[in-house]
């Protein structure tokens, strides 16, 4: 599958008094890009929740390099860095879509839970979903 980066404009409400994007928005953008990637491979988060599968964030980090500003369009590329059926981690690059300047990098890790908030293995719970996520691991 040819993965496409997630593109989005920087909205005015996302900026602070210095006219740059407030740092908390980068984490939101990670989530938007992650959900977009899932949609690209045919997985809807709503469908997962309907099946009783939750994917909470257990760790997230962001390194800010250059400020995004109102009027910019950002390109966010999430890449699955690890997946074992119980836990999945992503690496992210946020770039200015026009200049391709790297603005921020980050990562997030998630586990899989059932509706009772107990850990589950997708390999056992939903083998088809497991194969979809396993297919996202980049071969080196």
**pLDDT (tens digit per residue) in 88-120:** 999 999 999 999 999 999 999 999 999 999 999
Average pLDDT, the chain: 94
The answer to whether the predicted template modeling score (pTM) of the entire model surpasses 0.85 is yes
For residue 75, which of 102, 46, 106 has the smallest C-alpha distance? 102
Task: Just list the catalytic residues.
Answer: 16
CA distance 54 to 125: 12
The H-or-E segment that residue 1 falls in is: none
Q: Which fold, 6-134?
A: Thiol Ester Dehydrase; Chain A (3.10.129)
**pLDDT (tens digit per residue) in 31-81:** 999 999 999 989 989 999 999 999 999 999 999 999 999 999 999 999 999
Query: Is the alpha carbon torsion for 60, 66, 70, 72 positive or negative?
Result: negative
82 and 107 Cβ atoms separated by less than 8 Å: no
Instruction: Count other Cβ atoms within 10 Å, centred on residue 69.
Output: 15
112 and 120 Cβ atoms separated by less than 8 Å: yes
CA dihedral 97, 100, 103, 109 (to 10 degrees): 80
Q: Where in the chain are the domains?
A: 6-134
């Amino acid at each position: 599958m040819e993965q496409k980066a997630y593109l989005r404009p920087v909205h005015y409400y996302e900026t602070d008094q210095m006219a740059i994007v407030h740092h908390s928005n980068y984490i939101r953008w990670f989530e938007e890009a992650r959900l977009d990637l899932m949609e690209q491979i045919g997985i809807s988060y709503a469908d997962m929740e309907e099946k009783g599968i939750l994917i909470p964030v257990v760790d997230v980090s962001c390194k800010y390099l250059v400020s995004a500003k109102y009027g910019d369009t950002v390109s966010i590329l999430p890449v699955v860095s690890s997946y074992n059926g119980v836990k999945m981690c992503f690496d992210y690059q946020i770039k200015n879509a026009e200049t391709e300047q790297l603005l921020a990098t980050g990562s997030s890790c998630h586990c899989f839970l059932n509706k009772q908030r107990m850990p589950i293995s997708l390999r056992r719970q939903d083998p088809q979903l497991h194969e979809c996520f396993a297919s996202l691991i980049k071969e080196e």
